[in-house]
Chain A
């Protein structure tokens, strides 16, 4: 009840600020709606999923992606420069590392909510919550378990703390039994949580 009231109050306040800015020539009429539509059309986890599927099917691309993600995603027509300034993207791969240890990666922004929005769309509320931000760096294994991802003790977990300039995306491990699938079908297996690291795929 109070929530609905608060929401209508803040809606009116936001509209008020918009009209004030329009009156002062700092906002064009219709500009906000255009930006909302453009954003809805662009950022979606389908972009991240396409990157993952390409990396699973093209080892040379995977190598380029892990070496320089900003350059590699341009091959797919994607970019981290859509916002105000280009953000550095690092893609971290789940799987067996060079030393033979199985690794799992998970992403957070402990200070706020930094996230590769161009590749994943808007982040879920839990990603932005104090609950997730505070705990995943202290006890990642327990947090992942709460998300239903139970990792054996032998799996090393790395937590990547994003910043305004550096964003991270997880390259999940390709599931077994997917040899016959097309790139498009593989992309369909990838979830937003898989790209953040709170799910296996």
Chain B
């Protein structure tokens, strides 16, 4: 079964927008999420395929509403909870 991320060939998305001189990350937290994911994979908490799978399992409305690194962060929290590293509640406190 295809998931929401499988968009190849779909119609109806907004036009492609190019951002001139786009920065590497748009906010510090994006760089942190990027680095955090690498650190957790390196430690073997989860692997790259599990990480991709977690993003693809996000509820459709959440997937489509989220920015790229918001998806990453949601997937990281999902996996940390599923792997028993921390409860969803512990992870949600900010």
Which A residues fall within an 8 A CB radius of B? 7, 9-18, 20-21, 24, 26-27, 31-33, 35-36, 39-40, 83-85, 108, 110-113, 121-122, 124-126, 128-135, 137-138, 143, 146-147, 161, 164
Contacts and interface: CB of A to CB of B under 8 A. Distances in A.
Nearest to B22: A124
Contacts of A124: 18-19, 22
B7 interface: yes
Given A13-B73, A39-B35, A111-B6, A26 B29 contact: no
Interface of B: 5-11, 13-19, 22, 24-25, 27-29, 31-36, 38-43, 45, 47-49, 52, 55-56, 64, 68, 70, 73, 76-77, 80, 85-86, 90-94
B73 A10 contact: yes
Nearest to A129: B16
B32 to A, nearest CB: 5
A16 B94 contact: yes
A14 B73 contact: yes
B68 A14 contact: no
A26 to B, nearest CB: 6
